[in-house]
Amino acid sequence: MATSEKAAAVAELTELFRNSAAAVLTEYRGLTVDELKQLRRSLGENATYAVVKNTLTDIAAKEAGIDAFEGKMSGPSAIAFVSGDPVDVAKAVRDFAKDHDKLIIKGGYMDGQTLDVDGVKKLADLESREVLLAKLAGAMKGNLSKAAALFQAPLSKTVRTVEALRVRNEESAAA
Domain ranges of the chain: 3-126, 127-175
CA dist 154 and 149 (Å) reads 9
pTM for the complete prediction?
A: 0.69
CATH superfamily to which 3-126 belongs: Ribosomal protein L10, N-terminal RNA-binding domain (3.30.70.1730)
Q: How many CA atoms lie within 13 A of 11 on its CB side?
A: 6
CA dist 133 and 57 (Å) reads 35
Encode the chain (175 residues) as per-residue pLDDT tens digits.
568 888 898 899 999 888 888 999 999 888 889 999 998 998 888 888 888 888 898 888 888 888 888 888 888 999 999 988 888 888 889 999 998 888 889 988 888 788 888 888 888 887 777 777 888 888 888 777 777 777 777 877 887 888 888 888 888 887 6
